[in-house]
Amino acid sequence: MNMLIKKLSPQKHRDSEKAAWSLLLSQGRVLSQITSDKKVRFNFFNLYAFASLWLSFFSFILPTAYADETPLPDLDPKFYSVKVSNPTRDAGFVVGDALDRTLVITIKKPYELVKESLPIVGYEHRWKGQISGVELVKIQVDEKSLSEAMQHTLNLRYQVFTTSKTVKHASLKAEILNVRNTKTKEVVRLRVPFFDFRVSPLSLFGQIKLNEDMSPFVPPLTLDASSEKRNMQWLIGLLTLSLLGLLYIFGAYTWLPKMGGPFAKAYRDIRKMPETAEGLQQAVARVHQSLNITTGSSLFGNNIAELINKKPAFAPLQGQIAQFFALSRQVFFEPQAATQLSESPKAWLLKLCRQLRDCERGLPVESPQK
């Protein structure tokens, strides 16, 4: 709102006043002549004459009184500074949205802010003569005294009360504040920049061309995929644990703790041995070595209970261990002795080593084999 000052000279006021009164008296005489005849009643012609009298008066006086109005001069920029904090976006607002704006105005002495010129809550802004539909709903003013200036912090909140079928332009108008010189009493103005933004409709109406209606300042709409990402992370974690479990159960190499036990190494070594009589003797000797390392002493068929007492995890395989000693006796001492094996000795030794490996890793073992 531009503040105006009337600079009409006293002589001009007197001249216009005389002319107005002259016009008023002449119209009054005409009206008195019309109504002097008692036979003439107050009809439409009388009403027209009375109205034209006052319209002539105001049409002559008002333009003359405000003919010389001029805006206030601007304050020299060296006496003030303005820091404006506008909304982070300038598009995508709809009816009911609030826009927060912060103005930090520092005015140097000898000038001071005229507080009566501050924005008024509830004032409807106009743009190109039309009500913009943006209203100031809250204002908070904080003052801070500096050595050579006064700092005013204005926290303004505007609300949108308009909508349209399509995206329309709106603006937080350029606020104009009055500043007074405390020495000369001169009043000047201080202008705060405006802020343009766009108001979007709540729903689309009819057909629109997206390539013409889209704003380059609005980022593309994105879907909230946080729940899907969280589920994907859980599934990846579960898959990783499953793979580690399978690796721990079936892995033949030392990748995780307890994977490098004696029977795991024996299993790897026996797989490489040939299926010959000499290879079978090496395989049996390799299992004997692993049993001795696990027990901590030499293990024979008559002291298997010593292994079970030290390593209870091997208890489910006590029968298979006794059967291994029978196989060992056949291989090294009694070739004609029966072992009651349903498969080749090397394949049976590999299965036994895998079961013993599961025991030393603390895993459940398969059903006992006869």
271/350 Cα distance (integer angstroms): 7
3-state secondary structure the chain: CCCEECCCCHHHHHHHHHHHHHHHHHHHHHHHHHHHCCCCCCCHHHHHHHHHHHHHHHHHHHHHHCCCCEECCECCHHHEEEEEECCCCCCCECCCCEEEEEEEEEEECCEEECHHHCCCCCCEEEECCEEEEEEEEEEEEEEEECCCEEEEEEEEEEEECCCCCCCEEEEECCCEEEEEECCCCCEEEEECCCEEEEECCCCCCCCCCHHHHCCCCCCCCCCCCHHHHHHHHHHHHHHHHHHHHHHHHHCCCCCCCCCCCHHHHHHHHHHHCCCCHHHHHHHHHHHHHHHHHHHCCCCCCCCHHHHHHHCHHHHHHHHHHHHHHHHHHHHHCCCCCCCCCCCCHHHHHHHHHHHHHHHHCCCCCCCCCC
Please tell me which of 49-53, 84-88, 129-133, 216-220 the model is most confident about, judged by mean pLDDT: 84-88
CA dihedral 240, 246, 250, 255 (to 10 degrees): 30
pLDDT in tens, 226-276: 888 999 999 999 999 888 777 665 555 555 555 567 887 888 788 888 888
pLDDT at 66 over 70: no
> In this predicted structure, what is the pLDDT of residue 251?
58
> In this predicted structure, what is the pLDDT of residue 9?
43
pLDDT at 49 over 50: yes
pLDDT band with cut points at 50, 70 and 90 for residue 343: confident
Integer CA distances (angstroms), 199 to 90, 108, 127, 161, 169, in order = 9, 37, 14, 10, 6
> In this predicted structure, what is the pLDDT of residue 253?
54
pLDDT at 153 over 90: yes
pLDDT band with cut points at 50, 70 and 90 for residue 21: low
pLDDT mean across residues, the chain: 76
pLDDT in tens, 114-144: 988 898 888 777 767 777 788 889 999 999 9
pLDDT in tens, 306-338: 888 888 888 888 888 888 888 888 888 887 776
* Spatial contact of 259 and 358, defined as CB atoms under 8 Å apart: no
b/e code 230-243 from CB counts within 10 Å (16+ = b): eeeeeeeeeeeeee
118/115 Cα distance (integer angstroms): 5
User: Which of 148-162, 231-245, 293-307 has the least mean pLDDT?
Assistant: 293-307
Q: Encoding tokens for residue 119? A: 């924005």
